[in-house]
Amino acid sequence: QQQVKQSPQSLIVQKGGISIINCAYENTAFDYFPWYQQFPGKGPALLIAIRPDVSEKKEGRFTISFNKSAKQFSLHIMDSQPGDSATYFCAAHGGFRNDMRFGAGTRLTVKP
């Protein structure tokens, strides 16, 4: 079963708009929540990450919001740009094997 559920599967946003991607997890032993950005033909690259002791982390135009009680976290991309068009994966690290579980991914398209 998928331990990290990600939505939406795809997202189209106008340039300058806000892109929001949501993830939910089941295992309360997860203790590190990264977001990865992947361009076609490339490996995923770490974008931003958060630990459950904070509710929000911001780096430039990218913000993670974290709701521990709801077991949900989201990525907000402010002022979205065509160069942000990529697939985004949320992940959760920890648990029995202390490994990383990924969401299914969101393909973001930012229209000029």
Partner 1 sequence: NAGVTQTPKFQVLKTGQSMTLQCAQDMNHEYMSWYRQDPGMGLRLIHYSVGAGITDQGEVPNGYNVSRSTTEDFPLRLLSAAPSQTSVYFCASSYFWTGGKTFFGQGTRLTVV
Contact residues: partner 1, CB under 8 A: 2, 4, 6, 9, 31-32, 34, 36, 41-46, 49, 51, 89, 93-94, 97-105
Q: How far is the CB of 46 from partner 1 (least distance, A)?
A: 5
Pick 4 or 13: Cβ nearer partner 1: 4
- Distance separating alpha carbons of residues 30 and 32, to the nearest angstrom: 6
- Please state, in angstroms and rounded to a whole number, the distance separating the CA atoms of residues 30 and 51: 9
Nearest approach in angstroms of CB 19 to partner 1 is 18
| CB-nearer residue toward partner 1: 6 or 63 | 6
Residue closer to partner 1 by CB (options 42, 111) is 42
CB of 38 within 8 A of CB of 91?
no
What 3-state DSSP class applies to 5? Answer: strand
In the complex, the smallest distance separating the C-beta of residue 22 from partner 1, rounded to whole angstroms, is 14
Smallest distance, partner 1 to C-beta of residue 20, A: 19
SS3 track for 36-87: EEECCCCCCEEEEEECCCCCEEEECCEEEEEECCCCEEEEEECCCCHHHCEE
Task: Select 17 or 72, whichever has its Cβ closest to partner 1.
Answer: 72
